[in-house]
Structure 1
Amino acid sequence: MNYELKHKFDCSQGAIRAVRHNVDGNYALVCGSDRKVKLFNPSKKLMIKMYAGHGEEVLDAQSSCDSAFILSGSADKSIIYWDVSTALPVRRIRSHVAAITYAKFNEDSTVAISGSRDNTVQCFDIRSRSLEPFQTLKEAKDCITGLLVTTNKIITSSLDGCIRHYDIRAGELTCDKIGISITSLAMTSDEQCLLASCQDEIIRLIDIDGGEVLTEYKGHKGSKDYRIECGTTKGDGYIMSGSSYGQMIFYDFLEANIVKRLPISTENSIITTFSCHPTENEILIASRREIQVWDLSDTVEISENED
């Protein structure tokens, strides 16, 4: 596994809080501390549109399944449903009483789902004019730190150390108690396992059906003050994590040992967010104000760095 830095570009929007590919991977949404969402073509380092309307920093965003709309969530306690082409808000919803940590669409992008620091997850029918949620999930005892939406489930993680599975079709709730505050949640591409990044600087691989911890990945240094994301490479060959010292860490999925330390920042800045291309071996990694575009390469060898 060798990675080559293709290029990098400054997003000019303060500290980057989240970077997300759209559904086909041709474009990327970048959320900034300057209260804006920007749409980029990362291969050309070209900004296409800017979406300004939030009152505080934007913490998450997602493109709809047809890439015609964007959903963004902010520390100003609101989510905004944007028209991509006009860059105008179609609907602004302010139902939470604390910052929005995650904003997601369901599979066909007819429902907006938001997680918040007010310990709740709310669901909105964005086809209607109602600004009230049609369902509120109140079971979490602390801040929502992860939100995943599949065809049949809404899966959340919280600082209370629990992962909750809401089965939409059966109307059932299953709770897996990890016991350690969870700071980030991801799913493997085969949707069989979850990755929970915890405050004890361990990433836990959890079986979705049974809730058992299958593997623990140790060695990266996290931070209790930042949401450091985790995930998998294409095909689930490696586990990835940001770190508090300027590196992306790669673990072997099966052996759970560190196989690569990818140097991102010479200033040892915290690497909190990244996005893997949905079909290609490309990763967008945010470091402070800039986005770095990394690609697989058989000709470049990156040496391992010690802590």
Structure 2
Amino acid sequence: MSGSELLPKKEANVLKGHEGAVLAARFNQDGNYCLSCGKDRTIRLWNPHRGIHIKTYKSHGRDVRDVHVTPDNSKLCSCGGDRQVFYWDVSTGRVIRKFRGHDSEVNAVKFNDHAAVVVSAGYDRSVRAWDCRSHSTEPIQACCLFVYSVMSLCLTQSEILAGSVDGSVRTFDIRLGREISDNLGQPVNCVSLSNDGNCVLAGCLDSTLRLLDRTTGELLQEYKGHTCKSYKTDCCLTNSDAHVVSGSEDGSVFFWDLVDASVVSSFRAHSSVVTSVSYHPKDSCMITSSVDGTIRVWNASK
């Protein structure tokens, strides 16, 4: 049994409101809410399960490319084409701080576990860390070892993992001050961690996902079938770590068996490129976003 019948393939809601492409959609930590951002320079907060738009956040001067919310849902961070990282108060919609330091568009942003630090990555080939509690606008750390644009980030308690168009996945150990690089030989545009923390999933621009052992960097598996050649398309693991999921440039979503890499399901989710997939932390539910301007909520068929 592949478990494919338990996967979220039934459309539950369509969230509309963005004008133009939605570039990212992310569940919050408990999966009750989600945030989206896009070409229209806005961030939107939703209750995806009820299909309700709650709030719109406007202050970015260009497209918003990524957004992340703190575990207590009180603050969010965002980044985009205006080269800035914004730190927001969720309830008031006010920008608390703008972090300026990137020399080009910023592609990815994440809070650390304690939500005291925001980490960002951009086209200027750098990863930067910012202290939310300090009034300084200077980064507390900057890693500028990449050859090309840094597209994606994921964080653990002590490490920053970043994927770059230069083909590398770099791991920075913040406590030890050391850096490890795994070269995949293909441009990386998404990195995500397995829920057990043992593996890194890297989405590459040769339409292949690669699963790496986080400790050794060993290539464990490859997943193919989707199309990812020129757009930033998310990939992740399901909350049980049993399946790998990715968007595709043809509007499809693909599910693979983690171990044998067989495609267990694929379906047309959007009318254009799927930019983002975010899996619910506990339930068989996911959200997808697309260049078609919509966010779609998917549940398992009962």
Q: Which TM-score tier does this pair reach, normalised by the shorter chain?
A: over 0.9
The one of 284, 288, 294 equivalent to 1:285 is: 288
Verify: 1:256 aligned to 2:261, yes or no: yes
TM-score by length of 2: 0.95
The corresponding residue for 1:243 is 248
The corresponding residue for 1:37 is 43
- Gap runs ≥5 in structure 1: 299-307
Contact preservation (8 Å) 1:60, 1:74? yes
The one of 137, 159, 163 equivalent to 1:131 is: 137
Corresponding letter in the other structure for 1:241: S
- Gap runs ≥5 in structure 2: none
Q: Deviations over 1:275-307 (max 9, x none)?
A: 111121110111321111111124xxxxxxxxx
Moved over 4 A (4+): none
Contact preservation (8 Å) 2:46, 2:54? yes
The corresponding residue for 2:301 is 297
- 1: CA distance between counterparts of 2:168 and 2:147? 9
Corresponding letter in the other structure for 2:285: E
The one of 190, 193, 213 equivalent to 1:207 is: 213
Verify: 1:14 aligned to 2:15, yes or no: no
Identity level (%)? 35
Corresponding letter in the other structure for 2:235: C
5 Å-filtered alignment, 1:153-168, equals 153-168=159-174
TM-score by length of 1: 0.94
Verify: 1:183 aligned to 2:203, yes or no: no
The corresponding residue for 1:169 is 175
Corresponding letter in the other structure for 1:194: V
Deviation of 1:223 after TM superposition, in Å, equals 2.4
The one of 72, 81, 98 equivalent to 1:66 is: 72
Q: Point out the more displaced range, 49-58 or 175-184.
A: 175-184
Q: Deviations over 1:100-148 (max 9, x none)?
A: 1011111000001110110001111110100000110011111001211
Deviation of 1:263 after TM superposition, in Å, equals 1.7
Contact preservation (8 Å) 2:206, 2:229? no
- 1: CA distance between counterparts of 2:299 and 2:149? 34
- 2: CA distance between counterparts of 1:123 and 1:9? 32
The corresponding residue for 1:301 is none
Q: Deviations over 1:64-119 (max 9, x none)?
A: 12110010001100011101111010001111110010111110000011101100
Q: Deviations over 1:231-283 (max 9, x none)?
A: 11120111111111121011111111111112213x4x111212111121110
Corresponding letter in the other structure for 1:291: I
Corresponding letter in the other structure for 1:217: Y
Contact preservation (8 Å) 1:11, 1:291? no
The one of 223, 230, 233 equivalent to 1:228 is: 233
The corresponding residue for 1:303 is none
Verify: 1:28 aligned to 2:34, yes or no: yes
- 1: CA distance between counterparts of 2:18 and 2:162? 32
The corresponding residue for 2:109 is 103
- 2: CA distance between counterparts of 1:145 and 1:101? 5
Contact preservation (8 Å) 1:13, 1:36? no
The corresponding residue for 1:270 is 273
State the secondary structure of the residue aligned to 1:273. Answer: strand
- 2: CA distance between counterparts of 1:35 and 1:246? 23
- 1: CA distance between counterparts of 2:34 and 2:147? 33
Contact preservation (8 Å) 2:190, 2:202? yes
State the secondary structure of the residue aligned to 2:240. Answer: helix
Quick one: higher RCO (CA 8 Å, sep 6+), 1 or 2? 2
- 1: CA distance between counterparts of 2:49 and 2:226? 29
**Equivalent residue pairs, number:** 295
Verify: 1:89 aligned to 2:92, yes or no: no
Contact preservation (8 Å) 2:13, 2:48? no
- 2: CA distance between counterparts of 1:119 and 1:232? 27
Contact preservation (8 Å) 2:10, 2:300? yes
Corresponding letter in the other structure for 2:287: L
The one of 7, 10, 19 equivalent to 1:4 is: 10
The corresponding residue for 1:196 is 202
Corresponding letter in the other structure for 1:206: L
